[in-house]
Structure formats: structure tokens, C-alpha cells
Amino acid sequence: MLRAFGLGAILFIFWLLLSGHYTPMLIGFGLGSSVLVVYLATRMDVVDHEGLPLQLGGRFWVYFPWLMKEIFIANVKVARIILSPKLPISPVVTHFRASQESDLGKAIYANSITLTPGTITTGIQGQDLEIHALTLKDIDGREEDEMDLRVRWVERGSKRDR
């Protein structure tokens, strides 16, 4: 029930921010729409700890700026590869072991790798992630290890894991 209220609050606030109109009628439409979506989501049984991960708290918002920085750095590297014919392109597929315990943690880790230009997570089998990279240097392991530790911290919430 708490997750349903949380989902409703998030949807309504998001609707208000996107709407920009604060007349009683439009606020009523937004509230009604949010209630309808929460009702449908609850009936479909998708309001759970993975569909609405409130347990992550604010830890994800600490991780998010670091991820944006990594995405920017990777964009610059990929742009250099594309614009300079002298830089080698050597596509490679490798495997990394995820240390996350939950499916949500593994999904955050795999999606973070995929969001970083030059790398794509092509498959997950248990704790093993199959990664395709544009160059061998893109997957030297250092960035992935740091990302793994940060996602594990987001998932578990223990500062000692970070």
C-alpha cells in the first residue's frame, strides 16, 4: 500500500512539473490520471520492490551524477574514435562478473554499462554479464570495477562496500 501511495505521489508531482498549469480543473485531471494509473498498476501487480524501488532511497541520486560524468567522458572517447581514422577500432566481446545480489541491482549495472557509449551489455546469465565494446581499451576493467562497486553501494546501502 505504501508503494502505491509513493507511486501516486511521484506520478502526480511529475504531472504537475510537466503541466505547468495550476488551475483547479487541470490539477483535478492530473490527480484523477494519477489515481487511475496507480489503480491499473496495482491491478496488474507491478507495484513491487522492483517496479518502484523506494528501498534505494537517495543513494541512486548520489550515483546518477557520477554516471552522467562517465557517459560524457565515454562520449568524448567515442567521438575521437569516429572522427580520427588513426585511432583503432577493435570490437571485442568479454565477460564481467556482477557482484549485485538482486535482479534490480544487476539491471542497474547492465544498463549503466549500456548507457556508456562504446559498450553494450548483450546478455546476463546469472552473475555473468556479456559486454560488447568498440575497442579493447573501453573494457580494461577499471571503470567497470568502479561502476560495479558504486551500483553495489546503491543496491545495498552500506558505505563500507563503496
Q: Are 100 and 155 in contact (CB under 8 A)?
A: yes
**What is the enclosing helix (H) or strand (E) of 121?**
strand 119-125
Contact 94, 133 (CB under 8 A): yes
Q: Please, which residues have CB within 8 angstroms of residue 77's CB and are 6 or more apart in sequence?
A: 117, 118, 138
Global pTM value: 0.74
C-alpha to C-alpha distances, 81 to 37, 74, 76, 85, 134, nearest whole angstrom: 44, 11, 9, 7, 9
Q: Could you read off the pLDDT of 10-59 as tens digits, one per residue?
A: 899 999 999 888 899 999 999 999 999 999 988 988 887 766 776 777 88
CA–CA dist 37, 117 (Å, integer): 34
Q: Sign of torsion, CA 34 35 38 39? A: negative
* pLDDT recorded at residue 150: 92
Interval 48-74: pLDDT, tens: 776 677 677 788 889 999 999 999 998
